[in-house]
Copies of this chain bind each other. A is one copy, B any other.
């Protein structure tokens, strides 16, 4: 178990009241998964999750445009709803902000967040604002789903196939480019940058303005195709271990199957210090918000109707035991260690 998971488990242990909630039927799923579920009495379940987004930890004031901060902080929070199969409805925003940033910076931030909210059809319910030495954002999201249809991390069974949506690594590649770029975030707004500008914008986008897989998540849940699901926010090696731990299973994945990205040759000379290792990025870098899910063999044929089916990749299968194994192109096996994002790693 990684240090963050331990911390979460420790917090959960400090609050045994959650069992009480579960008994009386309101709390369908508490702390420890991507999101919690309450059943307030109607025909649907309501899914809730909170997500922090902090300056100096998740973004840098000098590198990240404020509208990206607003956009991304909401989208990544909602990704936990996608990971349960829920449809986002509402959110609450807690914002600590230095007085000096309440001007144009805040305008940009709200613009980005508003755009994200519109694109996901989410309404702001409320929240809290206060001053802080740096910008600190916490977002609580609420989603809705037909009763009992959520897909948790804990349903994977030996023999299930393991899938990921999209490619893994583009967010990290975008970050590396952003940090090496003299234009920093401005490149996205500044259309006057001609020399490779369009290509740079395309490469920066997954890091600054990620898209999440709401339709896919909802489809997999609605049609009961996935046995377990989560979003990859901290890196495949870390998140696959979490899914396996929750399901009490192991996994075997094939390195050659993992969908990855490389720096386009046309930009190699501009970013000479950037020598990305596509496999390493795909295994260990976070922030892509792709879905990681398992599918029982009997459901594989249904998958063809999934939204974005052509972007789905089977990367391995669920096994008995606890080990997570990476099989190389040559067929050699080695344990896959959790090397994704972990703020509490010592």
- Residue A129 at the chain B interface, CB threshold 8 Å: yes
Bound-complex Cα distance A56 to B136 (A): 13
- Residue A301 at the chain B interface, CB threshold 8 Å: no
- Residue A121 at the chain B interface, CB threshold 8 Å: yes
Interface of A is mostly: mixed
Bound-complex Cα distance A50 to B138 (A): 9
Q: Which of A35-90 contact B (CB under 8 A)?
A: 35-36, 38, 40-44, 46, 48-52, 54, 56-58, 89-90
- How many copies the complex holds: the figure is 2
Binding site for B on A (CB under 8 A): 4, 7-8, 10-12, 14-15, 17-18, 20-21, 26-27, 30-33, 35-36, 38, 40-44, 46, 48-52, 54, 56-58, 89-90, 92-96, 99, 102, 106, 110-111, 113-114, 117-118, 121-134, 136, 138, 140, 142, 144, 343-344, 346
Bound-complex Cα distance A8 to B30 (A): 30
Query: B30, A138: Cβ atoms under 8 Å?
Result: no
For A138, the chain B residues whose CB sits under 8 A away are: 50, 52, 94, 128, 138
Q: Which 7 A-B pairs have the closest CB atoms?
A: A41-B42, A138-B138, A21-B123, A131-B343, A36-B125, A14-B110, A94-B138
Query: A31, B96: Cβ atoms under 8 Å?
Result: no
Bound-complex Cα distance A16 to B80 (A): 24
Q: Which B-chain residue is minimally distant from A13 (CB atoms)?
A: B110
For A7, the chain B residues whose CB sits under 8 A away are: 102, 129
Q: Separation in Å of the A65 CB from the closest CB of chain B? A: 16
- Select which of B27, B30, B111, B136 is within 8 A of A132 by beta carbon: B136
- Select which of B38, B89, B94, B131 is within 8 A of A26 by beta carbon: B89
Bound-complex Cα distance A38 to B42 (A): 12
